[in-house]
Chains A and B, each alone.
Chain A
Amino acid sequence: MSASTIVTLILLLQLAIFIYFILINSLYSISNIIAFLDIRSQLAISSRQHIRSLVAGIYYRPISILVPAYNEAEVVATSVRFLLNLQFPEYEVVVINDGSSDATLEILVNEFRMVKVEKPFKKTVPHEPIYGIYISPDHPHLLVLDKENGGKADALNAGINVSQYPLFCTVDADSLLDADALMRAAKLFVEDREVVATGGMVRVLNGCRIVNGKIAEIYAPDRALETFQSVEYVRGFLTGRTAWNFTNSLMVISGAFGIFRKDIALAINGYRKSMGEDMDIVVRIHRHCLEQKLKYKIVFVPDPVCWTQVPSDWASLLRQRNRWHRGLIDCLWHNKVMLFNPRYKAVGLFAFPYFLIVEALGPAIEFTGYLAFIILALFGMLNRDMALLFIMLAIVWGMSLNLGAILLDNLIFRRYERVRDLSKLSLFAVLEYLGYRQLIVVERLFATVMSFRKGEWGKQNRKEIINEQQKRTR
């Protein structure tokens, strides 16, 4: 192959990447507009007073909160204490200790005076053996399962079997829910009989002040790495998921906070062992309902908030992103039959291809773009003006999208109380495209290459959640 052919091919590739870039960013811009219109209406139908009247009333379905925990000794007791204080008329908290090698179980047993019982249960979905079920005389709606290690999906399956209510909510052990989050997310199951799953918004806990089990003051995180993730979470949840919601083809409900109808989860044999079990269950629900021609809705609700700790060091962050990306690829591979298949309607024709081309292959495409620039420069075929302008366009467009998401968040939710925090978030929204994004892209590219490795619990270095008057979580 001659040098000119290589250059021509690279130029063609570059053109394709340019078109891809324009299309994707246009799609994101449209998502911002859709999000603005859709979120406003969603908020209007769940006013503070309405939610308060529901909490005191009968307008609910009882929920089992499943908290899978693997080596969560630092945070588990605080998280469970918060969950026991939620504003919801009828619920149980089921903590599943997935064979932790640290003191997770001992802490729970001591902290909540748990007693081992022989509770018989129906093993409807498969999971590793359960060593013991613990109940607490002080907290009748708390249950702890101690089981053999089998991964997060396996732990959730055990929780589904032992739980008693028709809805179950998955919450990560390092996350906190807003007091009324459960009611805001669960009321949809009562209002609309077609709703089979809902997911709430996940926000960054790092930096916030917690008093008596509630998020008292919301601040932007102190560290740069955490602030970048705050921007990512706002953009991803507020604009991305709302837009998919709009077309009834939401493919991801965060594992940190999602509510599912138990009968549907049982119909698809529970969670599948996968690194991206949260996305996998949603995709399989879509698949099941569309194959069975069932009327269903999977809904993202932006106002119930789950606060989660994000990694505060690079190693944990990259590990997390690597795991997420491998989970995504695994899920897409397992459900590949849905790709461009009209039988699966908008999910098969829009959402699935989007996740494949933009989310799974996106890092490779983006990286190829950077590489092509270098090769063209080596061949002396790169027009510097064009390259510079193209990079500038990518940066300012990205900046504008990020700022748009933060503006939207502030117009509708107004969670951050201080102007200083908003300014900080805006600054990091601008800086995200200058290095941070590229590093994440490289890690996701590695993940694409090593995507068929076996999954495990992806652990990040946990920090204790401080529930004191004068301290902030770090």
Chain B
Amino acid sequence: MKLIYSYFIDFPLYLRDTLIFFICLFFTMSVLQLVFLILHKMVLERREKRFKLKKVMYFSSLTRNFVDPDHPIYAPVDDLETHAFIDVCVDIMSGVSRQNMTIIHKAVREFGIPAFLVRNYKKSSQWITHYQIVETLGFLKLPELARLFREIISQEIALLEKNRAQTEQKKQGWLSDVHNPTARHLHLISKALWALSHICNDTDFRNIISVLHTPGFMSGKFNEYIFCNIIEAYRRREQTGVLLDKIEELFADDTVSLLIKRDFIQSCGIAHFTQSHTLVANCTDMFLTSPEIKMACIRTLAQIGDTRLEELTCLYLEDSDWRVRTVAAKDAHLCSDGIIPALRKVLCDRSYYVRLNAALSLARKGEAGKAVLRSCAGSKDTYEHDMALYALKQG
């Protein structure tokens, strides 16, 4: 008790000094933060203004070069100009034609941009910088960078496994919730994989699949994203025939998981890879029992078209899995009028989603479908009645 009295009432000198020290410390920190804030803002503003001007300059010279090949593109002379040039190239690359891509590639190589970025990559020890550089290099889609991306992937996988083993040993109980230090390796692997997928060749095809095959790695959507990039890379090189062979091998390989195959089928549809229609249609015979594959196939065939679409839709409208019936009902409007009786039947399906999609498909089928809906609107079956009315209004 005496101690408390001595602290609060007598207020010893050392306690006073400690408090004063901390007051001065926080006050100085506040002043420094304020000064830094204002100065940083002013310096940065100037730099950003210059950066924007440089970007405008490079953008105009690059786009002018697209129409007039004699128009010069000035080589960047300092770091600011180099970054501005890279930024412009990356911006343009996302929606550029094959011919203009060649122009950008030529300029990028001529100005030593890949070497500049690789140098920065090696100089930095921070994973954030590594990540940003890999992303920039990925956007540039330069085939000669494949080796670098492969190296990054294998290095990071090794580091990830090592870190995982260490983390497993250290973490116990509730601590397993706390921030995961291995996340940075996962980020880098996924980014390098994405970069590699843009320039994927036959060797990389299997490597990418094997990384995606790692349990718990990213998601199905990520896989689709990567596969779409691969399809685009083969298309750009006009090697779709080779890709079809690769996909066939992949589907026949029992060691590859069904979900990876499903994601590839879906990507064929999303990327409008029309040449793959027979391959996709045949998958329905290869993987008879998998609802995941059935759904992927029907979605893809609806996107790229195939003569077997109607036959499969009819078959899947009677599938035991409601998800398969739903997907079949959703795309049924793409089939001929012959599908209408089957759709009419599933209007009183036990799944709400099947009924809804069947009704909407009937509405999209035009007059023949609407006539069925109108007849159902008078039905005593509440499900059928409600769905028909809703679809008619939507239509």
Contacts and interface: CB of A to CB of B under 8 A. Distances in A.
B394 A135 contact: yes
Nearest to A380: B9
A82 interface: no
A11 B222 contact: no
B219 A191 contact: yes
Nearest to A344: B174
Interface of B: 1, 4-5, 7-11, 15-16, 19-20, 22-23, 26-27, 29-30, 33-34, 36-38, 40-42, 44-45, 90-91, 94-95, 127-128, 131-132, 135, 139, 173-179, 184, 187, 190-191, 216, 218-219, 221-222, 224-225, 228, 270, 352, 356, 383, 386-387, 389-390, 393-394
B224 A56 contact: no
A396 interface: yes
A58 B10 CA distance: 70
B176 A345 contact: yes
Contact of A349 (B174, B191, B219, B383): B174
Contacts of A50: 135
Interface residues of A, number: 66
A396 B23 contact: yes
Contact of B20 (A249, A345, A389): A389
Interface string A185-198: 00000111100000
9 contacts: A11-B4, A44-B132, A117-B393, A191-B218, A346-B178, A389-B20, A393-B26, A422-B41, A426-B34
A248 B30 contact: no
Contact of B19 (A41, A389, A419): A389
Contacts of B5: 11
A392 B36 contact: no
Interface in A311-356: 342, 345-349
B128 A56 contact: no
A47 B132 contact: yes
Contacts of A406: 37
A212 interface: no
Contacts of A44: 128, 131-132
Tell me which of B8, B20, B29, B41 has the highest count of chain A C-beta atoms within 10 A of its own C-beta.
B8
Given A41-B128, A410-B41, A57 B23 contact: no
Contacts of A248: 177-179
Majority SS of interface residues in chain B?
Answer: helix
Tell me which of B7, B44, B91 has the highest count of chain A C-beta atoms within 10 A of its own C-beta.
B7
Contact of A12 (B4, B127, B179): B4
A345 B29 CA distance: 36
Across the A-B interface, give the 10 residue pairs with the lowest CB-CB distance, nearest first: A345-B174, A120-B386, A346-B177, A396-B26, A190-B221, A44-B128, A389-B19, A403-B33, A117-B393, A383-B11
A47 B135 contact: yes
Tell me which of A8, A12, A348, A386 has the highest count of chain B C-beta atoms within 10 A of its own C-beta.
A386
A8 B29 CA distance: 36
A371 interface: no
Given A57-B228, A393-B23, A407 B177 contact: no
B44 A49 contact: no
Interface of A: 8, 11-12, 14-15, 40-41, 44-45, 47, 49-50, 52-53, 56-61, 115, 117-120, 122, 135, 190-193, 246-249, 342, 345-349, 376, 381, 383, 385-386, 389-390, 392-393, 396-397, 399-400, 403-404, 406-407, 410-411, 414, 419, 422-423, 426, 430
B91 A346 contact: no
A119 B392 CA distance: 11
Contacts of B94: 49, 52-53, 56
B305 to A, nearest CB: 19
Given A11-B5, A49-B90, A118-B393, A60 B221 contact: yes
Given A58-B270, A118-B390, 13 more contacts: A15-B4, A44-B131, A44-B132, A56-B95, A247-B177, A345-B177, A346-B174, A396-B27, A399-B26, A404-B33, A410-B40, A410-B41, A426-B37
A190 B95 CA distance: 23
A389 B5 CA distance: 17
A30 to B, nearest CB: 13
A16 B15 CA distance: 16
B173 A342 contact: yes
A406 B128 CA distance: 22
Contacts of A15: 4, 7-8
Nearest to A245: B179
